[in-house]
Homo-oligomer: A and B are copies of this chain.
Amino acid sequence: MGATLQTIADALGVSRSTVSNAYSRPDQLSPELRSRILDTARRLGYAGPNPNARSLRSGKVGAIGVLLTANLSLAFSDPCTVAFLRGLAAAAERRETSLLLIPLPKDPEAAQRVVRGAVVDAFCVYFVPDWCGVLEVISSRGLPVVGGEDPELIGPDQFHVGIDERAAAREVGTHIANLGHRRVAILGHWLVGNRTSGIIQVDAPEDLPYFVTRERILGYREALAAADVPWSDVLLVNVAGSHRAEGELAAGFALDRGDRATAIIATSDVLALGAIQALAARGLRAGRDVSVTGFDDIPEAAAVGLTTIRQSSEDRGRLAGEVLLDPPTDPDRRCRVLPTTLVVRATTGPAPGL
Question: What is A's interface to B at a CB cutoff of 8 Å?
Answer: 1-2, 45-56, 59, 61-63, 65, 71-73, 75-77, 82-83, 85-87, 89-90, 92-93, 96, 98-103, 105, 110, 113-114, 116-119, 137, 140-142
Q: Can you list 14 A-B contacts (CB < 8 A)? A: A45-B140, A51-B118, A52-B52, A63-B119, A72-B89, A72-B92, A76-B85, A77-B86, A89-B103, A96-B103, A96-B110, A98-B101, A98-B118, A99-B101
Residue contact B61 to A89, C-beta cutoff 8 Å: no
Shortest distance in angstroms between A74's beta carbon and chain B's nearest beta carbon? 8
Given contacts A52-B55, A117-B62, A119-B52, contact A73 B86 (CB under 8 A): yes
Residue contact B72 to A61, C-beta cutoff 8 Å: no
- A3, B90: Cα distance in complex, Å: 34
Given contacts A76-B86, A99-B101, contact A93 B71 (CB under 8 A): yes
- A49, B141: Cα distance in complex, Å: 10
Residue contact A63 to B114, C-beta cutoff 8 Å: no
- Chain B residues closer than 8 Å to A45, beta-carbon distance: 140
Across the interface, name the chain B residue whose C-beta is closest to A93: B103
Across the interface, A61 reaches (CB within 8 A) one of B49, B52, B75, B142, namely B52
Shortest distance in angstroms between A195's beta carbon and chain B's nearest beta carbon? 16
- Chain B residues closer than 8 Å to A116, beta-carbon distance: 47-49, 51
Residue contact B71 to A90, C-beta cutoff 8 Å: yes
Among the interface residues A49, A63, A86, A98, which one has the most CB atoms of the partner chain B within 10 A?
A98
Residue contact A54 to B93, C-beta cutoff 8 Å: no
Given contacts A99-B72, A101-B89, contact A56 B52 (CB under 8 A): yes
- A100, B48: Cα distance in complex, Å: 20
Residue contact A72 to B90, C-beta cutoff 8 Å: yes
